[in-house]
Amino acid sequence: MRRKKWLVSKGSKDLAAQIAQELSVDPFAALLVTSRGFDNIDEINDFFDADAPLSLSPLSIADMGKAAERINRAIDDFELICVFGDYDADGVTATALLYSYLETRGANVIRYIPDRLTEGYGLNVGAVEELADRGVKLIVTVDNGVSAIEEAVRVKELGMELIVTDHHKVGDVLPDAYAVVDPHRADCRSVFKEMSGVGVAFKLVCALEGDDGDILIEEYGDLVALGTIGDVVSLTGENRVMVRRGLRLMNDCPRPGICALMEAAGVGDKLFSASTAAFTICPRINAAGRMGSAEKALELLLCEDDETAELLADEINAMNALRQKTETDIFASAVSMLASGSDLSNDRVIVVDGEGWHQGVIGIVAARITEKYGRPSVVISRDGEFAKGSCRSIDGFSIYDAIESVSDCLDHFGGHTLAAGLGLKSSKIAEFRRRINEYAADKEMPFAVQKIDCRLLPNSISLDMLSSLSLLEPFGAGNPQPCFGLFGVRIEETAAVSDGKHIRMIVSKNGARTGVVFFGMPEKRFPFEKGDTVDLAVNLDRNVYNGEERVSVIVRGIRPSLTDEEKVLSSVRLFEKFSRGEKLTSDEAQKLLPDRQLEVSVFKSIKAKPLKDKYCEVLCMRLGDDGENLARITAVVEIMLEMGILTADENDTVRVPENPPKVNLEDSEIMKNIKSFF
């Protein structure tokens, strides 16, 4: 298991009591918002107000007035307008929104979404030339365009005009367009910067209509909600208001395409929530662009016929199944590569590459690698001489800044702080890997964080608590589902479920017992057992079974109780540093050098109970160590594995072989390497 840094928020009980009294808000919900940093009564009131109005003026976004003026003129003059979108959920919903609005205005409008595999992301010269041949006079981008410097020049050369609407970070130079609408422009006076591409497109429609958005959101809110959730932007401020209104619209009067996709996904009878969008609908919209044509998803969202919608939804659902299999296969290949004895898994930024890896899913694979290893990652697909990569990161490390620092070895790049894309020559991959890790070596690399909103006792978990939590919805980036800490609970029972894919446990504290489920934790890798005392990070969900409502307790993180967090994390960093072959100080080497007594203790402990998943923090627990000696204990395990005293199977279960060889551990290369720093 990859270790995360646990951070327990400190809510203000006094402020929570004030909020509960003044705003008539549930006390537990009030405590949770204080744990998330809210301290202004007016902001808290807006947060809980289900009918809060939209507050961001469209014209506060740079160039919005110019863009609206030019598009309105094109509508009046019946110029051919092209809405140029993107192939992900954000781009598809933005295209559907602006295209359908312009149609209602009687505009002469077409739409264009580039093919992910043959054209790549964003505006491209080939598409610009094709649109010119088709008689287009005005191109309006949605969810792309702010980095289209060369393409903007070509637009002008061909006698067309360009309006860019985007939400990605801007570079040093803006494209030479009639208007560049992007809240990240340095001269943009909008107070809210975290909009999605569809959010910016919606504000453009508001500017075109001369409306503040409270009327238009009732028509386009479903598209805004889907794209905003799909792009994983912060569900705070204006985004929270738009998404909440959009979810309400989808439950009251959903589009035929959304209904059909819900049915195809097997959730047609469920309430539509942010989670439904994030884990069911958006992945399927994305799958169309990843595995086939995003045009199918666009047709589905624009479809007004139930029968046609059903056929399109079934087709997209099949694409999603193919996406899942392709993603799983590539992820398995990447993990195998990282586990093969190479040094890649020790890098600060993990960079893996493979020939012919499907470019449509490498972003998802990168996200899974970052989650598994707790580090920024770049997954690169090679196609002969050229390659494309997708990047994911963790809070505290800007992957955009990192790739920008080595941009001279890239053909192109773009993205956000936590996610980005790039293109480069295959021959440059090794240089890119080396240089991005050199960049990271000069940074204080953060740990992935396990945030805890507040502590709970098992006997306090109830259905009433779920009602309190619902007041904080919709959940997503910037407003995640609350996570609770069950600290110092004893594991009473464990059982494998779904053929060993998940673990079910009964845990107890102070005589109270509760059941929990750890999804995605294979039995063969679960390092704890009955009798261990652990800390759990959990979500609470509502589960209905045979008509009876119950609280499901879902495990998101686990660690041994009573270990010192700072000592553990310091030890993890030290051993990673040693594994990368970096120079150690004599003090650092001393913290790695084992003595005879520790070697014997580790050997006896593993002989008594095999060590699952090579999770050495469990050894600290068994040996009564608070984490002070975790680096040293890890070194002992690696030394003994090197010398054959211990063996590890394909699941990283470490055990003592039946007839361990008699060896001198001083002959270990690892041991010699540690001693070389004295």
Specify burial of residue 385 (Cβ count, 10 A radius: 0-12, 13-18, 19+).
Answer: exposed
Q: Give how far the C-alpha of residue 414 lies from the chain's centroid of Cα atoms, to the nearest Å.
A: 17
Q: What is the mean pLDDT of the chain?
A: 94
Exposure on the CB side of residue 488, measured as CA atoms within 13 A: 7
- Among the listed residues 218, 245, 194, the one whose alpha carbon sits nearest the alpha carbon of residue 90: 194
Q: pLDDT by residue (tens digit) across 630-661?
A: 999 999 999 999 999 999 999 999 999 999 99
Domain boundaries, the chain: 58-212, 341-444, 450-560, 565-675
- Indicate if the pLDDT at residue 341 is higher than 70: no
Q: How confident is the model at residue 227 (pLDDT cuts 50, 70, 90)?
A: very high
User: Residue 85: CB partners within 8 Å, gap ≥ 6?
Assistant: 91, 92, 94, 95, 111, 112, 113, 141, 142, 143, 144, 294, 298
Do 615 and 622 contact (CB within 8 A), yes or no? no
Do 419 and 363 contact (CB within 8 A), yes or no? yes
Task: Give the model's pLDDT for residue 169.
Answer: 87
Residues above pLDDT 70, as percent of the chain: 100
Q: What is the DSSP string of 137-149?
A: -EEEEESB-TT-H
Greatest Cα pair distance in the chain:
89
Q: How confident is the model at residue 474 (pLDDT cuts 50, 70, 90)?
A: very high
Give the mean model confidence (pLDDT) for residues 199-208.
98
What is the rounded distance in angstroms from the CA atom of residue 265 to the CA atom of residue 288? 14
Q: pLDDT by residue (tens digit) across 476-501?
A: 988 999 999 999 999 999 999 999 99
Show the tokens assigned to 238: 């204006």
- Indicate if the pLDDT at residue 214 is higher than 80: yes
Q: Residue 105 — φ and ψ, nearest 5°?
A: -85, 0
Angle of helix 125-133 versus helix 149-157 axis, rounded to 10: 20
Q: What is the DSSP string of 64-110?
A: HHHHHHHHHHHHHTT-EEEEE--SSHHHHHHHHHHHHHHHHTT-EEE
Exposure on the CB side of residue 142, measured as CA atoms within 13 A: 34
What is the rounded distance in angstroms from the CA atom of residue 423 to the CA atom of residue 55? 39
Give the mean model confidence (pLDDT) for residues 83-100.
97
Show the tokens assigned to 514: 């509760």
Q: pLDDT by residue (tens digit) across 115-145?
A: 988 888 899 999 999 999 999 999 999 999 9
What is the rounded distance in angstroms from the CA atom of residue 241 to the CA atom of residue 214? 10
The DSSP secondary-structure symbol of 293 reads -
Among the four given CATH numbers 3.90.1640.30, 3.30.980.20, 3.40.50.720, 3.30.420.40, the one describing domain 58-212: 3.90.1640.30
Task: Give the model's pLDDT for residue 611.
Answer: 97
Do 477 and 235 contact (CB within 8 A), yes or no? yes
Q: Residue 221 — φ and ψ, nearest 5°?
A: -60, -30
Task: Give the model's pLDDT for residue 292.
Answer: 81
Total-model pTM: 0.88
Helix, strand, coil % (nearest 5) of the chain? 45, 20, 35
User: What is the second-level CATH architecture of the domain 450-560?
Assistant: Beta Barrel (2.40)
- Among the listed residues 247, 250, 140, the one whose alpha carbon sits nearest the alpha carbon of residue 197: 140
Give the mean model confidence (pLDDT) for residues 192-212.
96
Helix (H) or strand (E) holding 400: helix 399-405
Q: What is the CATH number of domain 341-444?
A: 3.10.310.30
Q: pLDDT by residue (tens digit) across 13-31?
A: 999 999 999 999 999 999 9
What is the rounded distance in angstroms from the CA atom of residue 367 to the CA atom of residue 10? 29
Task: Give the model's pLDDT for residue 135.
Answer: 97
What is the rounded distance in angstroms from the CA atom of residue 413 to the CA atom of residue 407? 8
